Chains A and B, each alone.
Chain A
Amino acid sequence: MSAIDMSIVQRAKRGDRAAFSALVDFYYARCLRFAIHMLGNSQDAEEAVQDTFVRVHGALNRYDEFDRFESWLFRILANRCRTMMGREARRSRVLVYGDLPHDRGTPPDVDAMVWREEIQTALGTLPAAQREAFLLRHIEGLEYEEMGRITGAGVSALKMRVKRACEFLRMRLAEVERA
């Protein structure tokens, strides 16, 4: 997905409601995907994304256009997810599946569903910092420097997190395939 036209961000920053609405439309699905993978729960994810956009609106006047908007947005979203995880840690973790759309025109592929659930389970088992780094790098396609601005961690540390996440996922899902 390409980045949003900066003129939309600039208009939103000046208080243009339609531009802000366009901005929400553009990024909502990606934000929701990230939050679902981070939180493993569609309701919490939805709340985190809603909170994020409300906060983005409140803070747009402080957005520095030298910073990529996407990085700035994901920094706020990642913070919201961390906050939600802090609360969630006090409750038992419930992974909710079926949040991702299927092709409703074809019969459900049981193997594909099992595979999807195994991936979600493995992802949910990862330490949160590794899960976050893996998602930002490989799912959101961000550069390590941008990830550093989002997470506050250094590039080397982030590379280490991504590497470990990959090793864990590879090992865990290879076991599933062998079973």
Chain B
Amino acid sequence: MREERDEMIDRIVDELKTLPAVPADATARVLARVDAARRGDGPGTSATDDDDVIYFPTNTEEMRAVQMPAGGSRVDGGLRRRFVVSLPAALGYALAATLAGFLIRGALPRKATAVAVAPSAPVGETSGVTTPLTRVAATKRDQQDAPVPVQFVLDAKRAASVAVVGDFNAWDATATPLVKDSVSGIWSGLVKVNPGRHVYAFLVNGREWTLDPRAPRTKDSDYGTEQSVMIVGLP
């Protein structure tokens, strides 16, 4: 695509490049806020605070541009997105919740203690992925708000990097990189997520916004960007 610069754009750029006046106390205020945050009486200090949003392509034309390289072939056509929690962990949470039910209520265990959102079996076109991996489960703990470990898995054999971004990590592309299994080529990572509804997506190769095709989707309220949805906790 040709770079669009001409005299008019140059004039606009020249005007917009003017640097604003910086308040004399700007740096001092930053340092004061840093100190306050260290003491625990200031606003959040982490780049992963939960109120961030992030832009991603908002129309189909741009989505195509993201997914199609210059030559026109699809990038990593073998991508298979999965979102799982490991079976032992899920069983452990279910058992813990059942016991908690006995202890707290002194009654028979309730039928369900875990919520599963997302698919039940992988659809990887490649061999070697034959065990159902696609699960997400979360269990109510003694404390309702306690973060729950959730494992994210993505089968993206040709990807150089995969990260999960979501409202639970402030859409920070650097916060939750997934780790690739050298044998299966599957990327996975464990994230502690507070109970509730969360939106997320995978970021492949640092830039490819990848939805989970088997999870419910929603649109970002500000910009209409599509996101996958998960529910963590009891229904």
The chain A residues found within 8 Å of chain B, CB to CB, are 17, 20-21, 24-25, 28-30, 32-33, 36-37, 42, 46, 49-51, 53-59, 62, 64, 67, 72, 75-76, 78-80, 82-83, 85-86, 89, 99-101, 115-116, 119, 123, 128-129, 132, 135, 138-139, 148-149, 151-157, 159-163, 166-167, 169-170, 173-174
Question: Which interface residue of A57, A62, A101 has the most chain B CB atoms within 10 A?
Answer: A57
Whether, in the assembled complex, B43 has its beta carbon less than 8 Å from a beta carbon of chain A, the answer is yes
State in angstroms the CA–CA spacing of A80 and B43 once bound together: 14
Contact between B37 and A54, CB atoms less than 8 A apart: yes
Contact between B17 and A51, CB atoms less than 8 A apart: no
Contact between A149 and B173, CB atoms less than 8 A apart: yes
Q: Which residues of B contact A59 (CB under 8 A)?
A: 46-48, 172
Contact between A132 and B31, CB atoms less than 8 A apart: no
Q: Is the interface of B mostly helix, strand, loop or mixed?
A: loop
Which of these binds chain A: B61-69, B147-155, B184-192?
Answer: B61-69
Contact between A55 and B49, CB atoms less than 8 A apart: yes
Whether, in the assembled complex, B41 has its beta carbon less than 8 Å from a beta carbon of chain A, the answer is no
Q: Which residues of B contact A85 (CB under 8 A)?
A: 222
A138 (CB) vs chain B CBs: closest residue: B13
Contact between B21 and A101, CB atoms less than 8 A apart: yes
Contact between A153 and B12, CB atoms less than 8 A apart: no
- What band does the interface of chain B fall in when counting residues whose beta carbon is under 8 Å from A? 35 or more
Given contacts A28-B27, A51-B43, A139 and B65 within 8 Å (CB-CB): no
Whether, in the assembled complex, B200 has its beta carbon less than 8 Å from a beta carbon of chain A, the answer is no
Q: How far is the CB of A42 from chain B (nearest CB, A)?
A: 8
Within 8 Å by CB of A170, from B1, B6, B208, B209, lies B6
Q: How far is the CB of A110 from chain B (nearest CB, A)?
A: 15
- Beyond contacts A42-B20, A157-B57: 16 other A-B pairs, Cβ-Cβ < 8 A, are A28-B26, A29-B19, A33-B18, A37-B16, A46-B23, A50-B29, A50-B30, A54-B45, A72-B174, A75-B173, A82-B53, A101-B18, A149-B207, A154-B57, A156-B66, A160-B1
The chain B residues found within 8 Å of chain A, CB to CB, are 1-2, 4-6, 8-9, 12-13, 15-23, 26-27, 29-31, 33-34, 37, 42-49, 51-58, 61-63, 65-68, 70, 165, 170-175, 203, 206-209, 221-223
Q: Which residues of A contact B54 (CB under 8 A)?
A: 79, 82, 151-152
The 3 closest A-B pairs by CB, nearest first: A58-B45, A156-B65, A154-B66
Q: Which residues of A contact B31 (CB under 8 A)?
A: 17, 20-21, 24
Contact between A58 and B30, CB atoms less than 8 A apart: no
B222 (CB) vs chain A CBs: closest residue: A86
Contact between A153 and B66, CB atoms less than 8 A apart: yes
Contact between A154 and B9, CB atoms less than 8 A apart: no
Q: Which residues of A contact B4 (CB under 8 A)?
A: 162-163, 166-167, 170
Q: How far is the CB of A23 from chain B (nearest CB, A)?
A: 9
Contact between B55 and A83, CB atoms less than 8 A apart: no
Contact between A149 and B27, CB atoms less than 8 A apart: no
State in angstroms the CA–CA spacing of A120 and B56 once bound together: 24
Contact between B222 and A152, CB atoms less than 8 A apart: no
Given contacts A32-B20, A83-B52, A152-B173, A50 and B33 within 8 Å (CB-CB): yes
Question: Which interface residue of B8, B13, B20 has the most chain A CB atoms within 10 A?
Answer: B20
State in angstroms the CA–CA spacing of A115 and B12 once bound together: 9
Given contacts A29-B20, A50-B33, A156-B1, A149 and B53 within 8 Å (CB-CB): no
Contact between A154 and B208, CB atoms less than 8 A apart: yes
Contact between B37 and A58, CB atoms less than 8 A apart: yes
State in angstroms the CA–CA spacing of A7 and B31 once bound together: 20
Contact between A169 and B9, CB atoms less than 8 A apart: yes
Contact between B27 and A100, CB atoms less than 8 A apart: no
Contact between A166 and B65, CB atoms less than 8 A apart: no
